[in-house]
Homo-oligomer: A and B are copies of this chain.
């Protein structure tokens, strides 16, 4: 099953010709999620060949403009393209009012339901789950209430050792229980042990998004051992004071978080417009956490 993240915007507050403001598209087990929605996100989705209409969940981290100014335009375009399937938008208090006011003043009657779920930026919680994925939120620490997000695949069932099972001509009815890890006792007293007829399940993958935030070890439990962590790295180390003052992070700090949380890979983004490229960010971070890349707009990361 596909689990990949498309970077739609890797810039910070001031967009540049190369880096749009924050937005990411997460395709996880046929669920389609947008995280943040800076100005121009709908165009970035088009450029990446992603259907606007597949998106069912939009997660807005916080109400700085570079994380949500593109939301109203995206919702308008979904409507103009004939959407009738509802959408759920998770974000801070005030977001719903801003979006509805802008749509209503132009007389727009949106042809699909928009379900706003208010996040308080303080409470870790499970926002959504179905048979395939879970979406969690947890608090970040920024100048205004800000939410981190974690998207998990649901645990997979154990995998049947089909050859052995066929060879022994066991009944098909026991397979679900064995795949769930349960041993099965047959009528004649024979015990089919799950461990003998199945292999360990494929690892379920997870992705976490942390932007914007000051260096904050309190987030580590929420992102523990994710396969891929996106963490903001607005500044380089020589601007650690500026990072602290503005409640942002440096590349080194992001790497420390990745190390503490024992993640698989670290993605750095939200680079200040003052940097021409991400080479120095990558270099600084790799001193602490080797498996780091600085993302760029349009990049696709496969988990």
Interface on A for B, CB 8 Å cutoff? 13-17, 20-21, 39-40, 42-43, 46-47, 62-66, 69-70, 72-73, 76-77, 80-81, 94, 97-98, 101-103, 105-108, 143-144
Most buried by B among A14, A16, A69: A69
**List of B residues within 8 angstroms of A42 by Cβ:** 15, 39
The answer to whether A17 and B39 touch (CB under 8 A), given A94-B105, A98-B105, is: no
In the bound assembly, the distance between CA atoms of A81 and B144 in angstroms comes to 21
Shortest A300–chain B CB gap in Å is 18
Q: Is the CB of A76 within 8 A of B13?
A: yes
Most buried by B among A66, A70, A106, A144: A106
**List of B residues within 8 angstroms of A77 by Cβ:** 14-15
Majority-rule SS of A interface residues? loop
Shortest A72–chain B CB gap in Å is 6
Q: Is the CB of B39 within 8 A of A80?
A: no
CB nearest neighbor in B for A38? B73
In the bound assembly, the distance between CA atoms of A25 and B15 in angstroms comes to 19
Shortest A236–chain B CB gap in Å is 19
Q: Is the CB of A15 within 8 A of B39?
A: no
**List of B residues within 8 angstroms of A17 by Cβ:** 43, 46-47
Shortest A81–chain B CB gap in Å is 7
**List of B residues within 8 angstroms of A143 by Cβ:** 107
CB nearest neighbor in B for A107? B144
Q: Is the CB of A81 within 8 A of B40?
A: no
CB nearest neighbor in B for A143? B107
Interchain Cβ contacts under 8 Å between A and B, 8 examples: A13-B76, A16-B46, A17-B46, A63-B105, A65-B72, A69-B102, A98-B101, A101-B101
- 6 more A-B residue pairs beyond the given contacts A17-B47, A107-B143, with a C-beta to C-beta distance below 8 A: A14-B77, A14-B81, A15-B77, A17-B43, A62-B106, A65-B73
In the bound assembly, the distance between CA atoms of A14 and B77 in angstroms comes to 6
In the bound assembly, the distance between CA atoms of A62 and B107 in angstroms comes to 11
In the bound assembly, the distance between CA atoms of A13 and B82 in angstroms comes to 13
CB nearest neighbor in B for A74? B39
Q: Is the CB of A65 within 8 A of B102?
A: yes
**List of B residues within 8 angstroms of A144 by Cβ:** 106-107
**List of B residues within 8 angstroms of A72 by Cβ:** 65, 69
In the complex, which of the residues B14, B64, B106 contacts A65, with contact meaning CB atoms closer than 8 Å?
B106
Closest 6 pairs between A and B when the two form their complex, measured CB to CB: A39-B73, A14-B80, A64-B106, A40-B40, A69-B73, A94-B105
**List of B residues within 8 angstroms of A47 by Cβ:** 17
Shortest A51–chain B CB gap in Å is 14
CB nearest neighbor in B for A40? B40
In the complex, which of the residues B66, B80, B107 contacts A13, with contact meaning CB atoms closer than 8 Å?
B80
In the bound assembly, the distance between CA atoms of A45 and B107 in angstroms comes to 28
In the complex, which of the residues B14, B80, B102 contacts A98, with contact meaning CB atoms closer than 8 Å?
B102
In the bound assembly, the distance between CA atoms of A47 and B62 in angstroms comes to 28
